[in-house]
A = this chain, B = another copy of it.
Amino acid sequence: MDTVMIWAAFAIGIVSVLIAMSKYSWIKKQNPGGERLQEIGQFIADGAMAFMKREYKIMFFVVLAVVILLSVFKQGHEKVIAVSFVTGAILSGLAGLIGMKAATKANMRTAHSAKDGLIKALHVAFTGGSVMGLTVVGLALAGLALLTIIYTTVFGIEDLDFIVQIISGYSLGASSVALFARVGGGIFTKAADVGADLVGKVEAGIPEDDPRNPATIADNVGDNVGDVAGLGSDLCESYIAAIIGSMVLGAELVHDYRFVVLPIAIAAIGVLASIVGTLFVRTKEDGNPQFALNLGTMGASGLMLILIYPFLHMYVPAGLALPGTELVYSVNGIFLAIISGLIGGILIGIVTEYYTADNRKPVQMIAQQSMTGPATNIIAGLQVGMMATGLPVIILIIAIMSAYHFAGLYGIAIAALGMLGTTGIQLAVDAYGPIADNAGGLAEMAKLDAIVRERTDKLDSVGNTTAAIGKGFAIGSAALTALALFVAYKETAGIEVIDVTKAEVVCGLLFGAMLPFVFSAILMGAVGRAAFKMIEEVRRQFREIKGILEGDTKPDYIACVDIATQAAISEMVVPSIAAVVIPVLVGFIGGKEMLGGTLVGVTASGVMLALFMANAGGAWDNAKKYIESGHFGGKGSVAHKASIIGDTVGDPFKDTAGPAMDIIIKLMSVVALIIAKMI
């Protein structure tokens, strides 16, 4: 193995974490605002911390159980896979925790600084996002590099196949924790959101984020544990899975150590590019913040490509045969595969933006259909969501075929890295949104000047396009990574072909295609049940605690946070564990080939549902905003009421079930990969 290269990656990872830490201390130094703002901010931070403590306690036991299983069932040296697993789990958990910490610190400071101007607020919010972005990629890279070094130098393992086998435990750890975080956080945030909206806005007639609503703190806590911490663990998982997927194929298909190290090197270059990219996100007081965000992300991707090309020239050996074809691996081939992924991801993002932006036809159509009531609003939203599977899948297919054409199956895995190489800055932009959103909530609750809310709303809407591209990357890379892991599974399991005209394969495929639907149903049911409890609690408080609606008495915020916490904790366990256990059961009962069919079914159906749910949810949300901005009757109109209903339906779609799909498809593949040799 190429130890120097891996040490360099480790160093870059550490640098990224150090920069993130310095940004974190910069944020802490900013003015946290007045007493009321601080008090509410502290409420939210405490609620989020309380939830995560309980969530992580449950996860601890699950991780422990898997470690025991891995140590018992894996033989000899393979037992060290448990070390990879624990490392992945801890780092993914840490990524979510740090992101949440930074966000709860940044949101009140963003609200306070928005008093002075848009640009200062943008800077604070984006720096908060950057802390998470750079921490996630830094930790993920450094951890992976360190494990590789330990296995090769300390344990002295030289067999490539074996190294990637035990390192894939790292991905399993990250994915398991990410699924818990996404599911738990997703249920929490939407239970609180739906509960707060339905009783507060609809029944009591008080505005969003009004401090008289007992569920409002829970709602804001939810944004931090779901949209921020969940997102952090999620992208950490995607990032790791994409790197490891490429590494495994490098070992299994190419059998050359340089193709195993290459993904780590590309990731390291991407981290450097991301760090530089964050520096571009600056603008003057009369500048365009949207432009600054785009410059940062696009600049980082561009820089990554510029740095990678000469690196590939130095590193990729000439003339290595592409197995199963007459082609050879070439510098240009691999570079073009990376570009295929990157362009594919950007295009999927642009399509996502088209289907969910309020200045485009689909959202305006939903808004128009809201005029005839909730039924037509819902039909229109479902229609837009289903339609939005079309172009992204075609783009994905073109990206896959191009990457395959340029660099074989290894190219498909590398294409995912093309999208996720710059996760550092991409995640910073993604996390910036909820921070700005939360700052707006805080401004409302702390009764800051109206101009503050206006500015945070503007901040929130800026970056939507960039965030849409992030979603495109998330779904696109999930599909590519799942395919790469699937191919890796086939190679590791020693299956000749996975022929879909065989009965067991087609049965596995049908079974796999069904799973994302049932998972989504379970998650939506969990949100529904939790929201129902929340609604009952809010109604109880309005009824029993005198003076809440008059603003004389404070509602019992903690009770609502507790309800959401308990519901999320109790509901997240079954689906998360099921996702790990099912591939094991299918493999041992139905055999290797049926499991192969299952993986492909889960991937196909999971990608469709992820696209469907993300786009329908986003479109409903923005149709509501479009109406609120004065169209089709504006606030309070029939159309507006209908659009609120659509938005509520879309919430569990886009923030609970949808994002879980991306994780499930990779988690199942990686579980299959790990048990492949035992079946």
Contact = CB atoms under 8 A, between A and B. Distances in A.
Interface stretch (A40-48, A422-430, A598-606): A598-606
A509 interface: yes
Interface in A122-160: none
A522 B518 CA distance: 25
A384 interface: yes
A432 interface: no
A369 B528 contact: yes
A522 to B, nearest CB: 8
Interface stretch (A62-70, A266-274, A388-396): A388-396
A596 B500 contact: yes
A390 B386 CA distance: 21
A601 B380 CA distance: 25
11 contacts: A198-B376, A376-B532, A380-B528, A385-B521, A389-B517, A390-B518, A393-B514, A400-B503, A497-B499, A499-B500, A500-B509
**Residue of A380, A510, A601 most packed against chain B (CB within 10 A):** A510
Contacts of A596: 500-501
Interface stretch (A171-179, A255-263, A456-464, A644-652): A644-652
A343 B320 CA distance: 55
Interface stretch (A17-25, A86-94, A302-310, A479-487): A479-487
Contacts of A501: 409, 486-487, 490, 497-498, 596
Contacts of A369: 528, 532
Contacts of A509: 500, 600, 604
A382 interface: yes
A372 B393 CA distance: 37
A170 interface: no
A612 B608 CA distance: 14
A393 to B, nearest CB: 4
Nearest to A508: B397
Given A514-B390, A649-B378, A503 B404 contact: yes
A451 interface: no
A-B interface, 8 closest residue pairs, ranked by CB to CB distance from nearest: A386-B521, A375-B648, A387-B521, A404-B503, A497-B499, A513-B604, A393-B514, A386-B517
**Residue of A500, A521, A522, A531 most packed against chain B (CB within 10 A):** A500
A507 interface: yes
A356 to B, nearest CB: 15
A485 to B, nearest CB: 11
A504 to B, nearest CB: 7
A507 B373 contact: no
A383 B524 CA distance: 6
Contacts of A396: 510
Contact of A532 (B372, B393, B483): B372
Interface string A503-539: 1111101110110011011101101100110010000
Nearest to A190: B379
Given A501-B490, A510-B396, A375 B649 contact: yes
Given A198-B375, A375-B645, A383-B521, 19 more contacts: A194-B375, A198-B372, A198-B373, A374-B374, A374-B645, A376-B528, A376-B532, A378-B649, A379-B527, A386-B520, A386-B521, A387-B518, A387-B521, A390-B518, A397-B507, A487-B501, A517-B612, A604-B605, A605-B605
A558 interface: no
Interface in A336-388: 369, 372-376, 378-380, 382-387
A535 B500 CA distance: 47
A594 B81 CA distance: 37
Chain A interface main SS type: helix
A509 B507 CA distance: 15
A528 to B, nearest CB: 5
A382 B524 CA distance: 8
A171 to B, nearest CB: 19
Contacts of A572: none
Interface in A605-664: 605, 607-608, 612, 644-645, 648-649, 652
Contact of A400 (B409, B490, B506): B506
A487 B500 CA distance: 9
A517 to B, nearest CB: 4
A401 B504 contact: yes
Contact of A393 (B386, B510, B524): B510
**Residue of A387, A527, A607, A608 most packed against chain B (CB within 10 A):** A608
A599 to B, nearest CB: 9
Interface string A575-597: 00000000000000000000011
A412 interface: yes
A374 B644 CA distance: 10
Contacts of A497: 497, 499, 501
A500 B498 contact: yes
Contacts of A510: 393, 396-397, 400, 479, 604, 607
A202 interface: yes
Contacts of A373: 198, 202, 645
Nearest to A405: B503
A226 B505 CA distance: 37
Contact of A608 (B386, B409, B517, B524): B517
**Residue of A373, A387, A511, A513 most packed against chain B (CB within 10 A):** A513
B500 A383 contact: no
Given A375-B649, A513-B604, A528 B400 contact: no
B506 A483 contact: yes
Interface in A394-415: 394, 396-397, 400-401, 404, 409, 412
A672 to B, nearest CB: 13
A498 to B, nearest CB: 5
Contact of A528 (B379, B404, B513, B531): B379
Nearest to A375: B648
Interface in A220-265: none
